[in-house]
Every structure is written in C-alpha cells, then in structure tokens.
Amino acid sequence: MVDYRTHADHVESGSTMRQIPRGIWVLLAANFVIALGYGLIAPALPNFARSFDVSVAAATVIVSAFAMMRLLFAPASGKLVSLLGERRVYLTGLLIVAASTLACAFAQNYWQLLIFRGLGGIGSTMFSVSALALLIRLSPTDLRGRVSGFFSGGFLLGNITGPLIGAALVNYGLRLPFVVYAVALLIASAVVATQLRGVGGRPVGGSGPVLDPVGLREALRDRTYRAILASSFTQGFASQGVRVALVPLYIVYGLDESSAWSGVVLAVYAAGNVASIVVAGRLSDRLGRKPIMLPGLALMSGATLVLGYSGSLWLAGVLSFVAGVGSGLFAPTHQAALADLLAKRGQGGTALAAFQMISDVGAVTGPILAGLMVDHAGGYGPAFLLTGAVPLVALALWSVARETAPVRTGEPIDKPVISSIPPTADGDATVEPPRR
C-alpha cells in the first residue's frame, strides 16, 4: 500500500530526519563505507602496482582499468536492475567488489592485479546504478533533493577521510588497505541484505501494474533529460577528472609551489562542496531544480575558466572554493531531477545507466584532453578554459529545460510505506507504485 499523506501531514508527523525512510539511511551508511574504502586504497594502489617493477604508465593503467570496466558494463547494469531488481544487483555488485579487492591483496604479479582490479569495476557500476535506482524508489517525492544531497555528501566525506586512513594503513604494508576494504564491503553487504529485505525486489504477476523502465531513446526526447546528461558529464569531466588530475600539476609546475599545497587546494575545493551540497538538496526541494542548477553551473564555469590564469596560490585557492560551491549546488540537484523524471516508471533501464555512464566518460576523457591542451596548446590556461567551457554547455541546456521539482509542478506528495506489500519473485517485498 501507499501512504498518500500531504506535505503538511508529513511535517506534523515529526521532524525532517524522521520523515526520511529508514531504508534511505541504510543506503546512505553503505554509500559512506563504499566511498571511504575507495579512498582508503587510493594511496596504496599505484605504489602496489609499482612494486611489481612496472613503469609509471603501467601503474596508472591499473586505475584506468577500473574506470573503463565501469564504463563498459554500465548499460548491462541498467538492464540487470530491470530484470532482477535493485537489491539483488546492489548486493551482487558489493560482493564482486569485495572479492576482487581481497584478491588484489594477494596478487602475485602485475597482471593479476590488473585483472582483479578491472573485475572490481564491473561490481562497482552494478551497485552504483542499483543504488541510484533504490534512492529513486525509496525517496519521498518532496524530499528527493535532500536525500540526493545526503547521498552526495556522504560519498564526498568518504572520499576525503578514506585517503587519510589509507595513508596510515600503508605503513603496515601495501596489501593491508585492500583487506580492510574487502571486510568493510562484506559488513556493508550484510547490513543491506538484512535491513532492506522489503524493497528492491523483482515484481511478479498479480502484485500490481509493472511499468517498463524508461529507455535511453525515449528519455533523449526530453530536453530536461538531455540537460541532466550534460551536467552529469560536467561532473565527471571537471570535478572527478580534470580537477584531480590537473590542479595538483598546476600548483606544482604552474605556480611553482610544493606538492603539499596541491593537497590543500584540493581540500579547499572539497570544503566548498561540503558547504553547499546538503543545502542545495534542501533548497531544490523548496525552490525547484533550475534555480539551484543554473547558479551552480555558472559558479563552477566562471571559477574554472580563469583558474589557469590565477597566477597566485591564494587566488587559486579562492577560485577552487568557488568551483567547489558550484559543484556542490548542482551535483545532488541533477540527481534529484533524474529521480523526478524516472520515479513514475521502473527504476532500472538504459536511461538510468546512461546517467552514470556519461559521468564516467567525462572522468576518463577530461584528464586526457586537458593534458593534451597543457602539452600542445599553450599550457594550463587553455586547459582550464576548455574545462570551464564544459559546464557552460550544460548551463545552456539547463536554461531551456523544464522544471521537474514537485513543488513547482504540482505533483502530488506521496510517501511509499512498506505495509501489506505483495511478495516478489525473489522472496522480497516491493513498493507498489503510486496510483495517479
């Protein structure tokens, strides 16, 4: 059954924290553990690869292999979510990454490490796509932005604190971080398996209407979905790709500062993210998606366009903070907009997978293109001009996109409640879709 209480009824029932379903908090906790572990092995992975007497380029291939497998397997992950249900794919993905990570700890040569880490990319995209599908399924209509903010914020905090713990663990051996991460993933799997038994199953006949998930071709006809893809690409290209790869080099070789300062500038960018990311979700639920997306993309673009011409460490830090604020404004907001578009249909499918896939494309291509600009097109200034132009394209598409937030469209506020729910094919319950 579905609870059709109004927004006012939700407010009367308790605080905002109590309004967010328990299943969401389970996902948020698991997401933090995953991000923490990903950051935890980051300091060890390249050095571990180098310990097998390979070149620096070969060591970086270990990192790229994970991203490449995520990219290649993303469409299949979306289809698996549709066929098997979100929870089953999520748990399978977690277990694959746990097994591959543990195998990395016992790799005896470079090629074993490459294969084991690449297999982990398959599991990673499985739980990434299914986690987003679960969030779409579980998030109350009027809290989608807030939930997306918590989800993005947890991932960010995990990525910040993970490397600090990983750096400490490396002192006890390069293999230890992999073992710790594998154990953490097994614990997260157990928590999700026991605490989310009532959601994310595969519907069976007689359990209510089952709608096909939105396909990519259908979704691309929607100008808002095209804008969402553009901002997702921006997130991967500028935030996850160029920011990490190029800013440290610019600080050291462009501004002639120590490598320690490059870490400080990256931390300042993350601080800007933290300052805005949760607030952005809350504001997008109240004001709409576009009023948050447009300033976020504009701030990120403006700060990035001039970063390569900053000429001083303090100005580079200020610009990085502003870009971080901009990224924090739009990162959870476009995810909430995606939920607005897909929530009335099945949550899997190629439209959902493409959102994740296009971000990975940006993360893979961004550093390569920006690096080529540095080497062959005039240095760091043109490279950051290129990077800043990417969010401008997304800004243009978002300026003509339609608003999707329920507070602006008048969509009824409903809150799925797990109660008297028919069983699914894998023995779980599933949330019945709202009847309009």
Joined tokens for residue 314: 């303090």
pLDDT digits (tens, 9 = 90+) for 338-356: 888 887 665 557 788 888 8
Is residue 169 a contact partner of residue 177, using CB atoms and an 8 Å limit? yes
**One-letter amino acid for residue 204 of the chain:** V
For residue 208, pLDDT beyond 50: no
Statement to judge: residues 98 and 150 lie in one domain: yes
Place of tokens 């620096």: 56
Q: How many Cβ atoms from other residues are within 10 Å of residue 295's Cβ? A: 16
- Backbone torsions φ then ψ of 345, nearest 5 degrees: -125, 180
For residue 15, pLDDT beyond 50: no
Statement to judge: residues 202 and 268 lie in one domain: no
Number of domains in the chain: 2
Statement to judge: residues 40 and 113 lie in one domain: yes
Statement to judge: residues 83 and 104 lie in one domain: yes
Task: Return the exposure string of 209-227: e unless at least 16 CB atoms fall within 10 Å of the residue's CB, then b.
Answer: eeeebbebeebeebebbbb
Mean pLDDT for all residues in the chain:
80
Statement to judge: residues 191 and 228 lie in one domain: no
How far, in Å, CA of 341 to CA of 257, rounded? 46
pLDDT digits (tens, 9 = 90+) for 123-174: 988 988 888 888 888 887 778 888 888 888 887 788 777 777 877 787 788 8
Q: Give, in order, the Cα–Cα distances in Å from 381 to each of 119, 309, 385.
A: 37, 6, 6
Statement to judge: residues 75 and 168 lie in one domain: yes
- Backbone torsions φ then ψ of 217, nearest 5 degrees: -60, -40
Statement to judge: residues 273 and 360 lie in one domain: yes
Statement to judge: residues 271 and 130 lie in one domain: no
**One-letter amino acid for residue 52 of the chain:** F
Statement to judge: residues 19 and 114 lie in one domain: yes
pLDDT digits (tens, 9 = 90+) for 178-201: 999 999 899 989 988 888 776 655
For residue 234, pLDDT beyond 80: yes
Joined tokens for residue 63: 């990192």
* 122 CB-contact burial (10 Å; exposed 0-12 / middle 13-18 / buried 19+): buried
pTM attached to this predicted model: 0.74
How far, in Å, CA of 240 to CA of 283, rounded? 24
> What pLDDT does residue 213 have?
65
Output DSSP code: residue 431: P
**Positive/negative CA dihedral, 273, 125, 426, 205:** positive
Statement to judge: residues 23 and 150 lie in one domain: yes
Joined tokens for residue 315: 């100005």
pLDDT band at residue 397 under the 50/70/90 scheme:
very high
The CATH number that applies at residue 203 is 1.20.1250.20
pLDDT digits (tens, 9 = 90+) for 64-92: 788 788 888 888 887 888 788 888 899 99
pLDDT digits (tens, 9 = 90+) for 86-117: 888 999 999 999 999 999 999 999 999 999 99
Q: Which residues pair with 429 in a beta bridge?
A: 423
3-state secondary structure of 109: coil
**Positive/negative CA dihedral, 316, 322, 326, 329:** positive
Give the range of the structural domain holding residue 57, as residue numbers without chain letter.
1-210+412-436
Statement to judge: residues 176 and 300 lie in one domain: no
Statement to judge: residues 44 and 142 lie in one domain: yes
Is residue 202 a contact partner of residue 426, using CB atoms and an 8 Å limit? yes
Check residues 323 and 136 and name the one with the higher pLDDT: 323
